[in-house]
Structure 1
Amino acid sequence: MVVDAPRPARRTQRERRERTESALVAAAAELVVESGLRSLTLARVGERAGYSRGIVNHHFGSKQALVEALAHATQSGFIPGLDQFSPGLERLLAVIERYTAALGDIDVISRAFLLLWAESATSVDLADLFRDRDEGFRSRLRADVEAGVAEGSIRADVHPGDVAVAIMGQLRGVGLQRLLDPDAVATERLRHAVADQWRRALSA
């Protein structure tokens, strides 16, 4: 007797939509990395992803909406394993070390984020979006500094907001250097050096 193999479960409409949108965002990231934001069009994204321009327009409606989706997709899970740390100095140092380490094997999505972030300084369309994301990153860094001061592991005379600005600027700057000249940025060595620098600067 021949028994038919079970048919694979059909994807739900939501799953199909999410799969399509992920493919379109990935295609947009590739094009941004290859040619920059100005050359990004819905037609090119559709072609790269294997869909029509109409599909791209149906899912996002405009180039701006697609770029916003790309910005939100980037850096998701960029710094894994932070849940094991309580807020404070050790988590702050883990963010610094793991962010720097992740730059050693930076993927297309993360490359696209750094390029868009740099371009946001001169792009009205990107400025508000990345300003909000930057403030979110700074607020998390600031919270760790404040928690470290409260628990006594971080010096009481530091300004949490200033520390957050300096750390974020350093990490993003290292990322941009890594994009421009990978051989000049030894992330495996640098990850420890940068974390140790901040430990010495902040420790009570």
Structure 2
Amino acid sequence: MPTQQERRERTEAALVAAAAELVVESGVRALTLAKVGERAGYSRGIVTHQFGSKQGLVDALARAIQGGFVPGLTEMPPGLERLLALVDGYLHALTGLGTANRAFLLLWAEAATASELAATFRERDRGFRADLRQDVEAGVAAGEVRADADPDAVAVAVVGQLRGIGMQRLLDPEGVDTERLRAQVTAQWRRALQPG
């Protein structure tokens, strides 16, 4: 028999999955706690109990999706190889572009004009850039990244490139072959960052 914690986690996963589906179908403005509960087979009350508000639900959705976008990175030490694995894994994840990834990109794009999303995605992107900065700094310290590489600039450029490719893939899945891009983009960053 599942424990209370296991039931809570299963319920949260079902609600987050339902929210992602609804975002992909109708956008975040149409997302309501009642619709999420109905889609997942629960009441609106359980959604409110689980997340507190629509903002809490959107925060959980952003964390759940971004946290698992590229598996295996937490086991790697910071440095150039982890940064390159992230780039490669991110582009690979875009190839399938499942519901969760599509929802994240749609929410991220909408955050530019939706104040209720801006803080969540600003925080998520700051965390993403902080991880990349850490990789560049560790790479410089280990001598595997050029000493003159600016960790902040590299982090902004990598996030911008990956999110830009993601948006292109979302808009034109047949025209943007992310599997073909993987080797090219990863090699581009290796050339740009390795000491000359």
- Structure 1 counterpart of 2:134, which letter? A
- Measured on the aligned residues, the alpha-carbon RMSD in Å equals 1.4
Q: CA deviation at 1:83?
A: 4.5
Q: CA deviation at 1:60?
A: 2.3
TM-score with structure 1 setting the length: 0.90
Q: CA deviation at 1:164?
A: 0.6
Q: Which residue of 1 aligns with 2:178?
A: 187
Q: 1:85 to 1:13 in 2, by over 3 A?
A: closer
Distance 1:54 1:168 in 2: 37
Q: Which residue of 2 aligns with 1:145?
A: 136
Structure 2 residue 121 is the aligned partner of structure 1 residue 118: no
Distance 2:33 2:146 in 1: 51
Q: Which has the larger radius of gyration?
A: 1
Structure 2 residue 90 is the aligned partner of structure 1 residue 99: yes
Q: CA deviation at 1:59?
A: 2.1
Q: CA deviation at 1:14?
A: 2.1
Distance 1:121 1:83 in 2: 29
Distance 2:48 2:110 in 1: 24
Distance 2:97 2:64 in 1: 15
Q: Which residue of 1 aligns with 2:72?
A: 81
Unpaired segments of 5 or more residues in structure 2?
none
Distance 2:37 2:173 in 1: 30
Distance 1:117 1:154 in 2: 30
Q: CA deviation at 1:28?
A: 0.6
Distance 1:137 1:203 in 2: 21
Q: CA deviation at 1:122?
A: 1.1
Superimposed CA distance per residue, residues 107-144 of structure 1 (whole angstroms, 9 cap, x where no aligned partner): 21121111111111111111111111111110110111
> How many residue pairs were aligned?
195
- Structure 1 counterpart of 2:64, which letter? A
Q: Which residue of 2 aligns with 1:17?
A: 8
Q: CA deviation at 1:71?
A: 1.3
Unpaired segments of 5 or more residues in structure 1?
1-9
Structure 2 residue 115 is the aligned partner of structure 1 residue 132: no
Structure 2 residue 164 is the aligned partner of structure 1 residue 173: yes
Q: CA deviation at 1:54?
A: 2.3
Structure 2 residue 155 is the aligned partner of structure 1 residue 160: no
Superimposed CA distance per residue, residues 163-194 of structure 1 (whole angstroms, 9 cap, x where no aligned partner): 11000100011111111111111111100000
Which of 61, 65, 69 pairs up with 1:70? 61
- Structure 2 counterpart of 1:164, which letter? A
Q: Which residue of 1 aligns with 2:193?
A: 202
Q: 1:61 to 1:87 in 2, by over 3 A?
A: closer
Distance 2:98 2:47 in 1: 23
Distance 2:173 2:164 in 1: 13
Q: CA deviation at 1:30?
A: 0.2
Distance 1:36 1:197 in 2: 34
Q: Which residue of 1 aligns with 2:29?
A: 38
Aligned residues: percent identity? 68
